[in-house]
Chain A
């Protein structure tokens, strides 16, 4: 049986969910960033799967768009990871803790 689009959806969805889960349920800021990476990857995977399987010609575009998207996601994910880590270090110097439940000054 050939894996079709649906199969990749499954993987992608699962990764996404697990990434959300990680982001939401872990207190450590690094964990949150790892979850963000998972989410981004899941999205990129989705794009590539569509590039391979499912572009209706009627909508225009070429098979390359999905891959381009994924490449840009990679680029931006890298940038984001760097900046995010910088922020985490700042967080640590401020509070000093990287427990993300600690900065709650925006609460009511």
Chain B
């Protein structure tokens, strides 16, 4: 089996999958021993380190050592001449090497799952393992002294396993399983400090909201299964390709056309990422999820889990019809704008970062919707680095001043220099300051959005406008956050007194992530990547679904002119944001209070988070509670009554038989006793001890015998 071939990625992929699971098992089984109370991080760190090495090895094999057969320019997507719509991208599948597991095997349905690796997988693996490893390292310092230290690491490991499995799998059903598993780990980790009031509520809210999206996801998967008869991604591609080429037909469900069916399936499938990646309107769980420990926020709710939705859209990209893509772009745009607007008014440092994440996820969905496949995914990777850095930095600040409220911070720049500097770098990367990684990805997004607008109707300009305007908003609220936290005079002198820089285990990941935020660009380390750019690596698959519906998409060419225009626009927007910031906060003309007063009604809407939570509470939650109460009543009255009835019947039965046993059976036995006693008492009277009585009895007996002889003969 050339699975064992050292150059093939098979062993590495298996190691990546298995090691975190072993780490979880180890920690789970030893979490009560003294060893793990202070050293529970050793095995997980080791596991993640090896996994990181393996993913780098896979990346090297898949990306760096790979020679593409033809260098297509970025953006070219149409069917190549010759008519074949085969997926031109490189892929390694464990099934070709005989390594697959049969998950389901009924007579009608057979699901086999294996590992698949292509460029998307390889790059995602690297990002996820780097961030996960750094978060593990950071947690050693952050969770130091916590009572459930080793259990935290166990959950982190379980999460890592699920996320990596989600990335590696080649089967929609297994992807769904890992999807759910990731949600479960999120539930565990958000509610880690379950003694407090907030975390349990937040974890349930997160889980429920995700569940809601997952229902749609599952329906979509089932529709796909019904349409194509398979859940395997490669198979799906092949069959959709056959339909697009005209050599196969989709079964007509409900009498709808193929395009309509695909659109419906695509929309249902998109519900999953809508919940998992916190798109409006299913974004309500993400801010509350900040109740969990900060490493959790960094790992799950910034870099990896919420990115799983974006990743999944990228995986099934060939499946989405233009209608679905337009919907994705629209929702992404709305999310980007709404979340950024809310981030302007919050005082909780983690909540601002949470809304920032939500907004950036909107950007990614927007990018994927307008056709910027590489742009969206690249933004995912860069965002992972700088957002993780921002969250870990926030965690460092919280660790120092023991509060999350920015109104009690200020002036921490002097006290926590390392944290401050890394935070600054990450902020600039997030905002898209030129030459940092975030700028490259953001500008790619804007380019594609403009192209989409140019080649479509007027409404298709909206995403571009949102992207540009949102950039300014982003810069502004991040500057505000920095000001409130690090600059100016300290607002709470006592907290400021106690503040100190965090230990090495916490600052090292910060520094590393900041460096990555700078260098993870698409063209800088040429010697390392052998001159391949990100768009070349992340080529989108042929748009089969579009062909099926009859609109072959036309995308313009993103040339240097457009790039230059976008650069100019972005810089202008950044300057505008910076100017607003200095005027409001540095020079106070007018200050923030004046702005609040002038836009009081808007401010109220923003502070109340657009009343999404209240809406859900009034509708879904009340319905759910009512249904739950109804079912509980039924259960108690009907089912429990039935069970109790059976129990009482059994009791009565038992009582009856007991009585029967006592009275009748024992009575029968006792009767003999009484009988024999009575008879014996009667017979004993013969033994009088009196000689004459005995003689009398003898004679009487003789007389009786004589009588008998006389009368019976």
Give the interface of A toward B (CB within 8 A): 20, 23-25, 32, 100-101, 103-108
Are A100 and B691 interface neighbours, CB within 8 A?
Answer: yes
Are A103 and B689 interface neighbours, CB within 8 A?
Answer: yes
Are A104 and B689 interface neighbours, CB within 8 A?
Answer: yes
Are A106 and B692 interface neighbours, CB within 8 A?
Answer: no
Are A107 and B689 interface neighbours, CB within 8 A?
Answer: yes
Bound form: Cα–Cα A107–B696 in Å: 16
Main secondary structure of the interface of B (DSSP, over half): helix
Query: Which residues of the partner chain A approach B687 to less than 8 Å between Cβ atoms?
Result: 106-108
Are A20 and B699 interface neighbours, CB within 8 A?
Answer: yes
Are B692 and A32 interface neighbours, CB within 8 A?
Answer: yes
Within 8 Å of chain A (Cβ to Cβ): is B1? no
Bound form: Cα–Cα A105–B684 in Å: 14
The chain B residue with its CB closest to the CB of A105 is: B689
Are A100 and B699 interface neighbours, CB within 8 A?
Answer: no
Q: Closest CB of chain B to A83's CB: distance in Å? A: 16
Contact pick for A104, options B688, B695, B696, B699, CB 8 Å:
B688
Within 8 Å of chain A (Cβ to Cβ): is B619? no
Bound form: Cα–Cα A24–B694 in Å: 9
Q: Closest CB of chain A to B694's CB: distance in Å? A: 9
Bound form: Cα–Cα A104–B685 in Å: 13
Query: Which residues of the partner chain A approach B690 to less than 8 Å between Cβ atoms?
Result: 100-101, 104, 107
Per-residue CB contact flags for chain B residues 659-691 toward chain A (1 = under 8 Å, else 0) read 000000000000000000000000011011111
Are A100 and B692 interface neighbours, CB within 8 A?
Answer: yes
Are B699 and A106 interface neighbours, CB within 8 A?
Answer: no
Besides A20-B699, A24-B699, A101-B692, 15 more A-B contacts (Cβ < 8 Å) are A23-B692, A23-B695, A24-B695, A25-B692, A32-B692, A100-B690, A100-B691, A103-B691, A104-B690, A106-B687, A107-B688, A108-B684, A108-B685, A108-B687, A108-B689
Bound form: Cα–Cα A108–B696 in Å: 18
The chain B residue with its CB closest to the CB of A29 is: B691
Query: Which residues of the partner chain B approach A108 to less than 8 Å between Cβ atoms?
Result: 684-685, 687, 689
Are A24 and B696 interface neighbours, CB within 8 A?
Answer: yes
Query: Which residues of the partner chain A approach B684 to less than 8 Å between Cβ atoms?
Result: 108
Query: Which residues of the partner chain B approach A20 to less than 8 Å between Cβ atoms?
Result: 695, 699
Contact pick for A106, options B685, B689, B695, B696, CB 8 Å:
B689
Best-buried of B684, B685, B687, B699 by chain A (most CB within 10 Å): B699
Query: Which residues of the partner chain A approach B685 to less than 8 Å between Cβ atoms?
Result: 108
Bound form: Cα–Cα A108–B685 in Å: 8
Bound form: Cα–Cα A55–B687 in Å: 41
Query: Which residues of the partner chain B approach A103 to less than 8 Å between Cβ atoms?
Result: 689, 691
Query: Which residues of the partner chain A approach B689 to less than 8 Å between Cβ atoms?
Result: 103-108
Query: Which residues of the partner chain A approach B692 to less than 8 Å between Cβ atoms?
Result: 23-25, 32, 100-101
Bound form: Cα–Cα A108–B689 in Å: 7
30 pairs, A vs B, C-beta closer than 8 Å: A20-B695, A20-B699, A23-B692, A23-B695, A24-B692, A24-B695, A24-B696, A24-B699, A25-B692, A32-B691, A32-B692, A100-B690, A100-B691, A101-B690, A101-B692, A103-B689, A103-B691, A104-B688, A104-B689, A104-B690, A105-B689, A106-B687, A106-B689, A107-B688, A107-B689, A107-B690, A108-B684, A108-B685, A108-B687, A108-B689
Query: Which residues of the partner chain B approach A104 to less than 8 Å between Cβ atoms?
Result: 688-690
